[in-house]
Amino acid sequence: MLRALTIAVGALTVRAAAAAPAGTETVVFASPSPGSAVGLLSQVIKEKRLDERNGLVLEVKYFDPAATEQAVVLRRADAGVFPVVSAARVNLIGEKIRLFAPALINHNSIVLQKGSAATRLSDLKGKRVGTLDRISMTYTSLAVIAKMQGLDLDQDFKLTLSPPPVLMALFSRGELDALVIFEPLVTRLVSEGHGEMMRLDRFWREQTGQFMLALAIGAHEDWLKSHGGAARKLFRTVIDAMTVIQESPKTILQEHRQSLLIETDEQLKRLTERMPRLYTARWDRAVIDNMSSLLKKNVELGLLKAMPKDEIFVILD
């Protein structure tokens, strides 16, 4: 399993096999690697040629999840997946990242070692907890969930921040007491007998009445202004890919059993139920208000210095 996951997280690049037709625009897109819910979006786009149907050639560059947003900030990609809280944070230091398309509802869970008696986050105080880098959706979401319970990630836990393959290896060796990770890895761990203590989105919904919309697609403001047509085509392509997955989840997951590390029919059944719900195939004022409420909660709890001065959410014409 670890070997397959390590291969999946490599900085792979998917390029168009042939020269783009005349008039077709090319966009370099930063995506988490296959084996993740967003990576699946990118795979479906290329395999179903959804980009070409929208007059676009999407050149997908795959990265470790935490490196994806860094690639956008550093302009190694034109656009890419970006956590909402991290987008606000980089805007506060002058990086004009704008979010213009949906990506995912939070799909992280806190997974425990077999035999653990923990039932709430406070039970893990002082324990070894592994999660992704600070810029990631996983970390920023966990940080706000912890603060809502009066806990501080840095002060109350022995944190290990690493890419998914490293975290999975440490957890499998018993060197972590808990792991905060995303689907489909959660399903894999649960099928091995580990306990799923908390789904972050479920906790957020219980407290706020809203889904935890924590991940979007972003780009620099100047790129959006100079490539408005390409941005709109990318938007339509992403929505099309979400629709394909939601309409035929079992078929899509069957086709990607290897990259998603699906080994049993029970894993397939669980993911068929969970994965389609992760995608928000719309981008409107209600979605933006939802994301804004997440930012306001981060400000309220002292995790974000202030709301960005400029509007970071963009609805393309």
In this structure, what token pair is assigned to residue 265? 């029919």
Q: Where are the alpha helices (DSSP H) in 192-256?
A: 200-208, 221-226, 228-247, 249-255
In this structure, what token pair is assigned to residue 4? 């397959």
- Whether 5 has a pLDDT exceeding 60, the answer reads no
Condensed to tens digits (0 to 9), the pLDDT of residues 42-100 reads 999 999 999 999 999 999 999 988 899 999 999 999 999 999 999 999 999 999 999 99
Q: What's residue 10's pLDDT?
A: 41
- Whether 199 has a pLDDT exceeding 80, the answer reads yes
Per CATH, the number for 108-208 is 3.40.190.10
Q: Where in the chain is the domain with CATH 3.40.190.10?
A: 2-105+213-300, 108-208
Distance in angstroms (rounded) separating the CA atoms of residues 164 and 257: 18
Q: What's residue 65's pLDDT?
A: 84
In percent, the amount of the chain with pLDDT more than 90 equals 91
- DSSP reduced 3-state for 265: helix
> Which pTM does this prediction carry?
0.90
Which one is predicted more confidently, 19 or 135? 135
Residue 210 near residue 296, CB atoms below 8 Å: no
Q: What's residue 66's pLDDT?
A: 83
Q: What is the CA radius of gyration of the chain?
A: 19
Categorize the per-residue pLDDT at 24 as very low, low, confident or very high, splitting at 50, 70 and 90.
confident
Condensed to tens digits (0 to 9), the pLDDT of residues 280-291 reads 999 999 999 999
**The CATH number fitting domain 2-105+213-300, selected from 2.60.120.620, 3.30.1300.10, 3.40.190.10, 3.40.718.10:** 3.40.190.10
- Whether 192 has a pLDDT exceeding 80, the answer reads yes
Condensed to tens digits (0 to 9), the pLDDT of residues 229-246 reads 999 999 999 999 999 999
Q: Beta strand pairing status for 13-14 and 97-105?
A: unpaired
CA 292 from chain centre, in angstroms, equals 17
- Whether 9 has a pLDDT exceeding 60, the answer reads no
Q: What does pLDDT average to over the chain?
A: 92
Residue 79 near residue 234, CB atoms below 8 Å: yes
Categorize the per-residue pLDDT at 21 as very low, low, confident or very high, splitting at 50, 70 and 90.
low
Categorize the per-residue pLDDT at 28 as very low, low, confident or very high, splitting at 50, 70 and 90.
very high
In this structure, what token pair is assigned to residue 22? 């005349």
Q: What's residue 49's pLDDT?
A: 98
